[in-house]
């Protein structure tokens, strides 16, 4: 964070590629002012590169020593990612080289009296948002795409980035606006209001809106699961094969995220994905009493994830029979969907006929695992294949919930025939505003700032 308040009007620079070594690394600049952009590019590149044409050049410091050889790519406003004037330098992917490039750029800008500074996290995307290149849900999808831990999650985020989610939000908003306009027009002619509204089928329109809202909310809730991972709680006596099942489920599908250095790995939480849907398996064996302070914190967290769980997997040992009582000291939420899994059926002479919701598997030889995966996704209501879903955040679901509450009140008003049209209209306005929070049309600046500050630098 810089000491002074960052100005949206400053030119910014950042290394756009991930820290570490890579074949190629990219330094990206965004300039609001075309004149300082031209002055800077000419000095920095030795000549002004042609827009959108890869230009090979050697960057030199003030003593004419080479800093790096690379490719410059220039985009004039507004046809760029940020909507401003953008210069990219694609150099060699080492931190010393790239930091050298940035350092030289800052020194050169100082000499030219151009207030170039390091970009804050998310600032490039924030500018794209401010310049109407992306709406807020799309900008958030940029961060989610980068964070995606599986191809399926990445596809869902890419769908949101391309506007699949935003389009549906906007379509719903348009329908509400249409009805609002009708109501406003009617308000001016109170004598004819009832007849007028009946003719225009205001109730029918509202029913359609409620329907569209319900579908969008469902899809968004699914989208949140794509993003945050489904919480699955695994319970079972010692030795029934919890670890074995986990490994078997993980197989080659173990989440890419868990391999990223720096993501803290709870022993009792395992991230994996099933058919590309991210899951967090919470092993309740970790929920024992302990005097250890750190462990206690971990346990408190685990308890919380149990409370928020989407599914309970009860694992039993087939050689022990189904009868044994589940001895768990956990108070498990009763409303949780449950699947009982009978493990080690390979040890039985034949696979038993079982009731619904009890699945025979063998973690050892893989029997029943595909059915278990189907059952898990079905139980938690992931109906869409990742190819058709989009990614969403809890923030979006919350806004859709608020929208739904206002639509429900509007619906009640619509059932009454006396003079409450203005209340009906007001509820529609509030429903509409809630949708505006998703696309960023109705969000205060500080909240916007908070959302973008969670991006990585250079994004
Ligand atoms: N080198 C490079 N690769 C990148 C990015 C980048 O900024 N630089 N991106 C950064 O995230 C992503 C691509 N996103 C981009 C989105 C829009 C525009 C752009 O220039 N848009 C203009 C022109 C559109 C056109 O030519 O069709 C515009 O919207 O007006 C560029 C990149 C991933 N790859
Ligand atoms: N035959 C057979 N053995 C299994 C199967 N699954 C697990 N086992 C064996 O059962 C034993 C216990 O398995 P684990 O996966 O360690 O069980 P756990 O529930 O994680 O055990 P705790 O960590 O003690 O709670 C091991 O010897 C496994 O090889 C199975 O499907 N078939």
Q: What is the pLDDT of residue 280?
A: 84
* Residue nearest (by alpha carbon) to ligand 1 atom 20: 80
Tell me whether the CATH fold assigned to 12-135 matches the one assigned to 141-225+391-453: no
* Residue nearest (by alpha carbon) to ligand 1 atom 5: 81
Q: What is the pLDDT of residue 74?
A: 98
Please tell me the distance between residue 102's alpha carbon and the centre of ligand 1 in angstroms: 21
Binding-site annotation: residue ranges for K(+): 239, 258, 260, 263
Please tell me the distance between residue 80's alpha carbon and the centre of ligand 1 in angstroms: 6
Please tell me the distance between residue 240's alpha carbon and the centre of ligand 2 in angstroms: 5
Please tell me the distance between residue 73's alpha carbon and the centre of ligand 1 in angstroms: 11
Ligand 2 in contact with 320 (CB < 6 A)?
no
Ligand 2 in contact with 372 (CB < 6 A)?
no
Going from N- to C-terminal start, the domains of the chain cover: 12-135, 141-225+391-453, 228-383
**205 contacts: CB under 8 Å, gap ≥ 6:** 175, 178, 179, 182
Q: What is the pLDDT of residue 16?
A: 96
Pick the CATH number of 12-135 from 1.10.10.10, 3.10.20.440, 3.30.1360.120, 1.10.357.10: 3.30.1360.120
CATH of domain 228-383: 3.40.50.300
Q: What is the pLDDT of residue 333?
A: 66
Please tell me the distance between residue 78's alpha carbon and the centre of ligand 1 in angstroms: 11
Please tell me the distance between residue 81's alpha carbon and the centre of ligand 1 in angstroms: 4
Q: Which residue among 236, 237, 238, 239 has the greatest number of ligand 2 atoms within 8 angstroms of its CB, and so is best to mutate?
A: 239
pLDDT along the chain (459 residues), means of 10: 56 95 96 97 97 97 96 98 98 96 98 97 95 96 90 89 96 94 78 71 91 95 87 83 84 47 51 82 66 69 75 87 52 78 89 75 92 88 68 96 97 77 90 95 84 87
Q: What is the pLDDT of residue 166?
A: 97
Which homologous superfamily is 141-225+391-453 in? Answer: tRNA modification GTPase MnmE domain 2 (1.20.120.430)
Q: Which residue among 270, 319, 348, 363 has the greatest number of ligand 2 atoms within 8 angstroms of its CB, and so is best to mutate?
A: 363
Q: What pTM, to 2 d.p., does this model score?
A: 0.81
Q: What is the pLDDT of residue 442?
A: 83
* Residue nearest (by alpha carbon) to ligand 2 atom 17: 241
What residues are in contact with ligand 1 under a 6 Å CB criterion?
75, 78-81, 88, 133
| Cα(64)–Cα(67) distance, integer angstroms | 9
**457 contacts: CB under 8 Å, gap ≥ 6:** 14, 15, 118, 119, 120, 121
Burial of 154 (0-12, 13-18, 19+ CB in 10 A): buried
Starting from the CA of residue 162, give the closest ligand.
1
Ligand 2 in contact with 319 (CB < 6 A)?
no
C-beta atoms surrounding 2 within 10 Å: 9
Q: What is the pLDDT of residue 199?
A: 72
Point out the ligand 2 atom lying closest to the alpha carbon of residue 363: 31
Point out the ligand 2 atom lying closest to the alpha carbon of residue 244: 15
Q: Can you spell out the DSSP letters for 60-119?
A: E-TTS-EEEEEEEEEE-TTSSSSSSEEEEEEEEE-HHHHHHHHHHHHHHHHHTT---EEP
């Amino acid at each position: 964070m810089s000491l002074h308040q960052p100005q949206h009007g400053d030119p910014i620079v950042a290394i756009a590629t991930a820290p570490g070594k890579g074949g190629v690394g990219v330094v990206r600049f965004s300039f609001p002012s075309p004149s300082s952009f031209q002055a800077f590019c000419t000095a920095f590149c030795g000549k002004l590169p042609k827009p959108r044409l890869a230009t090979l050049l050697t960057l030199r410091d003030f003593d004419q020593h080479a800093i790096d050889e690379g490719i410059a790519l220039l985009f004039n406003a507004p046809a760029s990612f940020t909507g401003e004037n953008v210069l990219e330098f694609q150099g060699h992917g080492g931190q010393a080289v790239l930091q050298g490039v940035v350092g030289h750029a800052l020194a050169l800008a100082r000499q030219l009296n151009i207030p170039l500074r390091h970009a804050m996290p998310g600032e490039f995307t924030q500018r794209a948002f401010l310049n109407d290149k992306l709406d807020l849900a799309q900008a958030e999808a940029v961060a989610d795409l980068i964070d995606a831990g599986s191809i399926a999650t990445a596809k869902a985020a890419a769908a949101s980035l391309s506007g699949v989610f935003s389009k549906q939000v906007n379509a719903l908003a348009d329908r509400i606006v249409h009805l609002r306009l009708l109501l406003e027009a009617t308000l001016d002619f109170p004598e004819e209001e009832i007849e007028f509204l009946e003719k225009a089928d205001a109730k029918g329109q509202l029913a359609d809106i409620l329907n569209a809202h319900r579908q969008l909310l469902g899809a968004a809730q699914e989208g949140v699961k794509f993003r945050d991972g489904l919480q699955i709680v695994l319970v079972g006596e010692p030795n029934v094969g919890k670890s074995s099942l986990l490994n078997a489920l993980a197989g080659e599908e173990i989440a890419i995220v868990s391999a990223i250095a720096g993501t803290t790995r709870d022993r009792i939480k395992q991230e994996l994905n099933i058919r590309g849907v991210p899951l967090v398996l919470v092993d309740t064996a970790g929920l024992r009493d302990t005097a250890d302070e750190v462990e206690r914190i971990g346990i408190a967290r685990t308890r919380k994830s149990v409370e928020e769980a989407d599914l309970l997997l009860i694992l039993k040992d087939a050689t022990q029979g189904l009868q044994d009582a589940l001895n768990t000291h956990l108070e498990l939420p009763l409303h949780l969907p449950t699947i009982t899994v009978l493990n080690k059926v390979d040890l039985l002479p034949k696979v038993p006929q079982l009731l619904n919701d009890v699945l025979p598997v063998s973690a050892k030889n893989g029997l029943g695992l595909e059915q278990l995966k189907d059952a898990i996704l079905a139980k938690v209501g992931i109906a869409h294949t990742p190819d058709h879903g989009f990614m969403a955040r809890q923030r979006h679901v919350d806004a859709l919930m608020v929208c739904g509450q206002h639509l429900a009140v509007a619906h009640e008003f619509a059932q009454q025939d006396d003079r409450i049209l203005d209340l009906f209209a007001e509820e529609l306005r509030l429903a509409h505003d809630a949708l505006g929070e998703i696309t960023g049309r109705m969000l205060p600046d500080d909240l916007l700032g908070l959302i973008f500050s969670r991006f990585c630098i250079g994004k």
